[in-house]
Structure 1
Amino acid sequence: MVLSGIREVIWKGMEASNRTISERLLLMAQVLEILDENPFKVRAYWRASEIIGRLATPVAGLSITNLDAMEGIGEGVALKVQEIASSGTFRELEEALSRIPPGLIDLLNIEGVGPKTAKTLWQKMNITSVADLERAARARRIRALKGFGEKKEALFLRSIARQKTPATRMNREQADEIIAVIRTVMKEGTWTVAGSYRRGKSTVGDIDIVTTDDPRRVNSLLHGISDEMIDVGDKKTSFRCRGSRVDVRFTSPSMFGSMLLHLTGSAAFNIRMRELAISKGASLNEYGIVYTSQGISKEFSREEEVFFYLGLDYIVPELREDWGEVEAAHSHTLPTLVEQGQIRGDLHVHSSWSDGSMDIRSLARAGEELGYSYLACTDHSSSLGVARGLDEAALKRQAHEIEMVNRDTSCHILQGIEVDILADGSPGLPASALRDLDIVIGSVHSAFSQESDVMTRRIISAVSHEDIDIIGHPTGRLLGQREAYAVDMQRVIAAAAATGTALECNASPFRMDLDDLHIREAIQSGVKISIGTDAHDPRELHYLPYGLGLCRRGWATPSDLLNTLTCQEVLEYVS
């Protein structure tokens, strides 16, 4: 194809990022769904796109064998990844794109338009671009299409107008702030947050609510907290709160379980569950299970009932990604995930000795209020250039204060440091400053643009250093602000497994690093995970559940985390 040839010329000399590869695979999934292709093939591309999009390890340079060995990436997709890496696209994608109008894919950026809707608009109304859709909506022709109506027509126009200022995904703290506003108008015990928020994902797009409350009561109150009421109805109401979309689905108590299951997702998990129902001669949707041939339907008031009916153990929301959890539930081999009540302490906190706001006694008091046995005070090293970063002399003075505080507190303060991993992989403080500390976190805070192999060797050097116990925020990402630096996490994880070095799950909502995929890979390799809030003030100590959710998404059990150990056990592990 001419288009493919042009792309290949432009592409020469460029390296495909994980984001680029993920976007091409996602595009393939969308095009195949528009073309009504095999749903198993569609799901394979969706799943591979999501996995690669969240990996820190650059996949462009990996071999077919290494790609095929990754969970969710088969040999067929691996071949496509290599093709994208070399040319920016792949032959099957170009062939599929040639079967649809060029502007049709742009419709998928419009709120309310998925692949199936795009296909309908194309085939029923010859709408093949956003401009076509806007013209048809303004002419009030969309409402004549079966299953669309006046409200959807208005939604398309609002979405087209908003495209000039596209919305970004929320971090979990931002989502919590919106949920707190919603809580002021919802009746306790009648509603649950669903969607990606309930599954514990790092970022959240829209907020989904399932409720059994009276739509008239709820809708009348939502006006008072909304920026904009998008759509108001007895089955579903959509509005914007603090700039983000919230969808409220109303259901009866007898259908609450199946509705919550459906709206929690993920899409891939829902497809897998529907396939399981089909294998039993039934269909599963948000209203329950239906045996069409027999005219029998079954409603579910609780999610657990759906799983039991299909012969599965209950699958917690964090695992619902079609990463093997359905098969594990069927064979009764699901892991017993770590719970909040099993967490004994926070292993990454800053004090007023460097750039935090709490003195040592305030740290201990805050830890006591949270019911912790210990907190690790890990201030920045002087090498980072942070105001009042600690050098060897300051660490000795701090040790005395910590010793005095620990005499009369139930929350033991571990003395540690977050030492900078310098560009050559060495720690930013000498061994004499590190060896007597309770715990040492090594983190990259500079030279983020190093080439992948250089950055990987830099971090592995820190992993192998005898005085470094934990690698902090291992991929360096800042959600919505900075991409992860190029690091081969498979090599880092292998090195950590060999040395017994723990990898941090940084629970700050601005980091959430490691992400779930790497946590699972680390756990499978026998690497311990350390959750740290990276707190600089008392409020941030409450971030720990965010990291715990990521660890649960990574299939973490209590034995996989340092934070479930007693204080003495932590000291023995890092010694």
Structure 2
Amino acid sequence: MSQKEITNRDVAERLAFMARLLEIAGEDRHKVQAYERAARQVERLTLPVAGLDEEELTRIPGIGNRIAGQIREIARTGSFAELNDLQAAIPGSLIALLDVSGVGPRTLHLLWKRLGVLTLDDLEQAVKGRRLRKLPGFGAKKEGTIAKGIQQFRRMPDRMTRPQAEAVLAKVATLLPDGQYTVAGSYRRGAATVGEIEIVTTADQAALADRLAAVTDGTRANVRFTDPARCGTALLCATGSAGFLERLGEVALAEGYRLTPDGLVDASSGRLHTFRSEEEVFSFLGMAAIPPELRENRGEIELARRHALPDLVDLGDVRGDLHAHTTASDGRQSLEDVAEAGDARGYEYIVITDHSSRVSPEALAKQQSAIERTNRRHTCQLLAGSEVDIRSDGTLGYPNRILADLDLVIASVHSGFGQDQDVVTRRILTAMENEHVDIIGHPTGRLLGRRPPYAVDLPRVVAHAAETGTALEINSSPHRLDLEDIYIWHAKKKGVRLAAGTDAHRTGEFANMKNGIMLARRGWCAPDDIVNTLSLSGLLEWRS
């Protein structure tokens, strides 16, 4: 068990959150931009900023003494005092409205100060009363967009996204001793959303229980205290799904033991057998150790009893990233930035997939030339690709003559979300029939906590992908995590290849590859099931 390491992404997210709160509060735009600029700089760095002192931090362009001090504070505690004070001064119900589609920080400032909006109900009443269109820069169209955002927000399940859970865990990490806790539950199993945060700790309950309760108040978190000698079964019981634990309990009972968080109780003598690790528990029951991502009662226990579990893909198997955006479309990174990030990660390749809607054919040709020049300076080779729109009428964003000249093509739905299921599905099926389309991007189009999936018949999509040889993306952005593991599992069974891509718009987002591999593992994928475990030559051969 280990304390969560403070990464550059963690630091950048805290600084970016500060910028959003300053906008909500109506602070000076220059101050807002200073935090935005610092967040971007931190994301681009490959050197961990948490290990730098203040003098070293101030040498980074865009980071002055004040923000350098705050970065050091984030490295120590996971946050910083000025951010905590500002967050306390702005109603939490107001901050939560940032998750409503169409509502940004500046919009929220106007809603708060001009209309007195504090809650979702307040916002809904203001929309119904047509009061938003009276604000400067607003109109009926924006009012309608926010109305739809409210409807979508209300339909969202009452579950946390992984970033929301990680924000809570960052606070927990400031209290728990290093090496004395593990995050369990659905978060550890790699679920896309989390109902409740489960934490198992061997820390002193008397010393920390009240402080932990204060940190996790209102966040559906459950802290389980145990001692090191009983940690194996405590962690096992806190991690597995209900179905998994029920089936494992049956297996234990068949062997003459009752499974409890404290250990295995001998059914005849009542003797308690304790275990320091989960591996010891599985071994005691004559089973192979089951990875957390598989603990869903989908047949993994039977395979573990036969020592026949699948060889799951691991992050170390990944040779490159198949989905990245640059400043040519809506990214915040240059080609040079991407290549440097690839070098730092030891990648063989990263595919540049800027949006067809934002890059003209002429600009795309110039980008291809720029990619060739950039590749001369780097070990990680950039490939010329595109994320091509699947338009509402089913046509693609570029003609075939343009697509044929690219190294890799992702086709994605970015419009017409309100079309009925058959229409959306046929749009995707038609795209797969194009010989130049290699991957279907984020197949359901969902944004967790913000936008539900569009209506699409995924079994039809999976079946057609098997026929056409098209890969389906596992979008690794923590805001998408698209496909769900059950469809990954179905795709694997049908022989469909999966493509893990980060959809990175900033260099810090390449680290999100771990999310895609986590989902692939939940879908029982082996290395050969994932396109980007191929070498560069293997990828180009697969594409052809």
Q: Same fold (TM over 0.5)?
A: yes
Q: 1:415, 1:437 within 8 Å by CA — same for their partners in 2?
A: yes
Map of 1:453 onto structure 2: 422
Q: Does 1:330 align with 2:305?
A: yes
**In the alignment, is residue 419 of structure 1 matched against residue 388 of structure 2?**
yes
What amino acid is the match of 2:319? Answer: R
Structure 2 residue 272 is the aligned partner of structure 1 residue 272: no
Within 2, Cα distance between the matches of 1:480 and 1:221?
29
Contact kept, 8 Å, 1:172 with 1:546, in 2: the verdict is no
Alignment partner of 1:446: what SS? coil
Does 2:377 align with 1:408? yes
Question: How many Å apart are 1:545 and its aligned residue?
Answer: 0.7
Deviation by residue 1:225-281 (Cα, 9 ceiling, x = unmatched): x35xxxxxxxxxxx32xx523221111111100000000021110011111122223
Aligned counterpart for 2:282 among listed residues 307, 332, 340: 307
Match of 1:76 in 2: none
Match of residue 440, structure 1, among 381, 405, 409: 409
Quote the residue 2:482 is aligned against: 513
1:469 maps to which residue? 438
Kindly report the root-mean-square deviation, in angstroms, between the aligned alpha carbons of the 2 structures.
Answer: 1.8
Report what 1:503 is aligned to: 472
CA distance in 2, matches of 1:285, 1:220: 25
User: Quick one: which of 243, 246, 249 aligns to 2:224?
Assistant: 249
Tell me what 2:292 maps to.
317
Q: Unaligned regions of 5+ residues in structure 1, if any? A: 1-163, 228-238, 383-388
Contact 1:349 1:376 in 2 (8 A): yes
Paired residue type of 1:411: C
Q: Give the Cα–Cα distance (whole angstroms) in 2 for the partners of residues 366 and 293 of structure 1.
A: 59
Shift of 1:428: 1.4
Q: Residue 192 of structure 2 corresponds to which residue in structure 1?
A: 202
**Deviation at 1:450?**
2.0
Q: Does 1:183 align with 2:152?
A: no
1:319–1:553: 8 Å Cα contact kept in structure 2? yes
Counterpart of 1:533 (choices 502, 511, 528) is 502
Show the counterpart of 1:353.
Answer: 328
Q: Residue 353 of structure 2 aligns to a residue in which SS?
A: strand
Specify the code of the residue in structure 2 equivalent to 1:195: G
Question: In structure 2, how many angstroms separate the alpha carbons of the residues matched to 1:266 and 1:398?
Answer: 48
Which of 169, 176, 184 pairs up with 2:159?
169
Cα displacement string for residues 67-99 of structure 1 (whole angstroms, at most 9, x for unaligned residues): xxxxxxxxxxxxxxxxxxxxxxxxxxxxxxxxx
Note the C-alpha offset of 1:572. 1.1
SS in 2 for 1:369: helix
In 1, Cα distance between the equivalents of 2:430 and 2:202? 55
Q: Distance in 1 between matches of 2:206 and 2:507?
A: 40
If asked which structure has higher relative contact order (CA below 8 Å, sep 6+), I would say 2
| Distance in 1 between residues matched to 2:228 and 2:462, nearest whole Å | 46
* 3-state secondary structure, aligned to 1:255: helix
Give distance in 1, aligned partners of 2:495 and 2:434: 19
1:220 positional shift: 6.2
| In 1: Cα distance, 2:454 partner to 2:306 partner | 39
Letter in 2 for 1:441: I
Letter of the 1:198 counterpart:
R
Could you tell me which residue of structure 2 aligns to residue 23 of structure 1?
A: none
From 180, 199, 207, give the equivalent of 1:217.
207
- The residue aligned with 1:428 is 397
- The residue number in structure 2 matching 1:27 is none
Whether 2:250 is the aligned partner of 1:283: answer: no
CA distance in 1, matches of 2:427, 2:484: 20
1:546 is matched with 515
SS of the counterpart of 1:188? coil
Amino acid at match of 1:286: P
Aligned equivalents of 2:424, 2:359: Cα separation in 1: 25
For the residues of structure 2 that align with 1:305 and 1:549, how far apart are their CA atoms? 24
2:356 equivalent among 376, 381, 403: 381
Given the superposition, is the C-alpha separation of residues 167 and 491 from structure 1 closer, same or farther in structure 2, using an over 3 Å criterion?
closer
> Which residue type is aligned with residue 339 of structure 2?
A
More off after superposition, 167-176 vs 426-435? 167-176
283-292 vs 556-565, which deviates more?
283-292
Counterpart Cα distance in 2 of 1:374 and 1:172? 27
Runs of at least 4 residues off by over 3 Å: 219-223
What amino acid is aligned across from residue 565 of structure 1 in structure 2?
Answer: L
By how many angstroms is 1:568 displaced? 1.5
Kept in 2, the 8 Å contact 1:351–1:377? The answer is yes
In 2: Cα distance, 1:217 partner to 1:371 partner: 43
Amino acid at match of 1:215: Q
Describe how 1:53-72 pairs up with structure 2 within 5 A. none
Once residues 412 and 438 of structure 2 are traced to their aligned partners in structure 1, the CA distance between those partners, rounded to angstroms, is 11
Measured in 1, the distance between the counterparts of 2:266 and 2:339 equals 59
- Residues 325-370 of structure 1 show CA distances to partners (whole Å, capped at 9, x for unaligned) of 0111112221011111111111111000011011111111111122
Output the amino acid matched with 1:344.
R
Letter in 1 for 2:303: A
1:398 maps to amino acid: Q
Secondary structure in structure 2 of the residue aligned to 1:508: coil
Instruction: Give, in whole Å, the separation in 2 of the partners of 1:562 and 1:212.
Output: 40
Cα deviation code 1:284-341 (max 9, x no counterpart): 1111111233222211111011111222111000000001101111122210111111
Identical amino acids, percent of aligned pairs: 49
Task: Say whether the 8 Å CA contact 1:262–1:286 is kept in structure 2.
Answer: yes
Give, in whole Å, the separation in 1 of the partners of 2:207 and 2:261.
Answer: 23
Counterpart of 1:174, as a letter, is: Q
Specify the SS of the correspondent of 1:244.
coil
Q: Map 1:39-188 to 2 at 5 A.
A: 168-188=158-178
Instruction: Give the count of matched residue pairs.
Output: 391
- CA–CA separation in structure 2 for the residues paired with 1:220 and 1:277: 35
Q: What is the Cα deviation at residue 482 of structure 1? A: 2.0
SS in 2 for 1:289: strand
Which residue, 265, 272, 282 being the options, matches 1:297?
Answer: 272
- How far the C-alpha of 1:491 sits from its partner, in A, is 1.5
- 1:379 alignment partner, SS class: coil
The Cα of 1:175 is off from its aligned counterpart by 1.9
Alignment CA distance shift 1:221-1:167 (3 Å): farther
